[in-house]
Structure 1
């Protein structure tokens, strides 16, 4: 009996040794398989998260590589109607060549419009069909506004009047006012206008451009000028979306739609001067979009920020206080080029004012705005409003 037990015990040891040997032979192969499975899972999870976040940010974010491929095909098909400058070519991240949208001449613009099969009463498509995707902004522009408007007219991108344009072949889904706080930046303004008009027209947006200039030489109040722009734009017509735009930022991708989603949107997520990185999560400066109702809900911007800095963080805090959150496109879409410029003098009290910002929402903003309009100029490329701001005692 004891011998049998011992024999069984010895056989068990032999089996165990054999199994361990098999495991040792298979372990490198199993390890490779397991690593490949883990990598595949990570890639799938990342892809799903990216798509999910994009759709969560904005339901209009459905544009993809097939859209760019379709536009490349259209360009090749109609290349005889384009004035191609070999020195003005930009590239997509995957190496596909894209012509600069600003080089489309008047004939090409007419052909783009004739491609549409929509009536003037039918809503424009949810995805604008003529988007190019990544583009290279033009950093040169004529010295005068008159020369610039002549150049815009030559490429078929000059609005009929007052800096306002709408598609004639379909009904735009959005009525957008572009508000630009401004002082002493004439060359930057011309560069901005040269880039932004073709950009917005490819997006089939009903838009108007309002340049709000601060008179005098006192401390610059960007936030107060944006409040003025909101009030003055609504004197012209009913806009439902407002985009507050620094004059020195040029968009690099026309898939960055200049519209207002359900939540306020920070547009200038990735700027070249910041190495295309978002400095902090609550940033709301540079270019931002809000609906009329959202802007009124937070009583506009604070009027207390004289000098550089603070007003955008104040607005971010206002949005949070009423239950809104900041939405963004991915940084490969919301990309901008910043024109070089001299920095404004910083507001030494900005942090102190920011600290008490939420307490002042109801009495500091649109309802406390005081200014005097000194001049109004209506050019075909923009509406220009010169104002004198009331300086607090």
Structure 2
């Protein structure tokens, strides 16, 4: 009994040190924003009180001289925080167009009352999700305008019946978007995720990739962070509403996904933008977005089990 009591303080000290070390490691690996949110560096948001995403957009009065000479303020004056999001009834394209009359051909927008500080391209991989796309566009256009961004929305549509390849479509979107402008920030955006707070700014971090959707309602607003260094939007700010849907044909769960993840460290230098191969079918500027239709070919064939062992 005496030895146990004597060792107890040492055990508590070791436990405290190990916990502190764990927190510091997470902080250095890019989770600093999580801890800032926990310890009060960011305001708490009450998601029971929400505002319409189109609230006060009319307060931005056109000023042609200011657009040429004055930068927009760093913080937009009409941000409201939590937004009212409904995903049950997709709006029509005409309704979206009428509510976003200053969006120009190709889904391009630039503030009309000041010079936009940030140039952001939003890239959305897509196939057979028209109703989801309409819902997202209804909320995303005013969301970006409220932040006073110079932006364009690019929808990368996969043609054909091959397995849907989100990652490759994003790479195609990056390459194509860079043909249009010298962007400060490239945002990869799922078609079925709608942001719930307009303080979640669609601008990039100066040093690291930025994880915007740190909390999705489908996963009880918790997503594990691991791997590469990145900045991460605080959990109480990076909330997204996921549009419910069934898994559609051509987007089945990949039975090889675990093998692909295991081999990432071996082939990542040769698999991505530097090996991108696709056939561009069309570029089209619609009223709400720039549509890029591509044929990315068939899904890559996984090597046989015997060949996979050669990597280890």
User: Same fold, TM exceeding 0.5?
Assistant: yes
Give the Cα–Cα distance (whole angstroms) in 1 for the partners of residues 79 and 42 of structure 2: 9
Name which one, 1 or 2, has greater alpha-carbon Rg: 1
Against the structure 1 CA distance between its residues 94 and 257, is the aligned structure 2 distance closer, same or farther, given a 3 Å change threshold? closer
Give the alignment partner of residue 172 of structure 2, picking from 223, 228, 232: 228
Deviations 1:50-83 (A, max 9, x none): xx9449989xxx8758xxxxxxxxxxxxxxxxxx
SS of the residue 1:385 aligns to: strand
Give the alignment partner of residue 198 of structure 1, picking from 142, 156, 170: 142
Give the alignment partner of residue 131 of structure 1, picking from 62, 79, 97: 79
Give the alignment partner of residue 108 of structure 2, picking from 164, 175, 180: 164
- Alignment partner of 1:379 is 2:286: yes
Deviations 1:130-185 (A, max 9, x none): 10101112323334x344323433xxxx4122101111222222111101010000
Q: Which runs of 4+ in 1 moved over 6 A?
A: 55-58
Give the Cα–Cα distance (whole angstroms) in 2 for the partners of residues 247 and 276 of structure 1: 18
Against the structure 1 CA distance between its residues 119 and 234, is the aligned structure 2 distance closer, same or farther, given a 3 Å change threshold? closer
SS of the residue 1:243 aligns to: strand
- Give the drift of 1:201: 0.4
- Alignment partner of 1:186 is 2:130: yes
- Give the drift of 1:98: 4.2
Contact 1:203 1:254 (8 Å CA) reproduced: yes
Against the structure 1 CA distance between its residues 254 and 63, is the aligned structure 2 distance closer, same or farther, given a 3 Å change threshold? farther
Greater helix proportion: 1
Structure 1: runs of 5+ lacking an equivalent? 1-48, 66-91, 283-315
- Give the drift of 1:213: 0.6
Match of 1:366?
273
Structure 2: runs of 5+ lacking an equivalent? 1-26, 302-312
Give the alignment partner of residue 263 of structure 2, picking from 325, 338, 356: 356
- Alignment partner of 1:218 is 2:162: yes
SS of the residue 1:250 aligns to: strand
Structure 2 counterparts to residues 261-272 of structure 1, below 5 A: 261=205, 262-272=207-217
Against the structure 1 CA distance between its residues 147 and 213, is the aligned structure 2 distance closer, same or farther, given a 3 Å change threshold? same
- Give the drift of 1:118: 5.4
Deviations 1:224-269 (A, max 9, x none): 0000000111111211211100000000001100010021111111
Using structure 1 for the length normalisation, give the TM-score: 0.61
Using structure 2 for the length normalisation, give the TM-score: 0.76
Give the Cα–Cα distance (whole angstroms) in 1 for the partners of residues 286 and 104 of structure 2: 9
- Alignment partner of 1:253 is 2:253: no
Alignment length, in residue pairs?
Answer: 263
Give the root-mean-square deviation of aligned CA atoms.
2.8
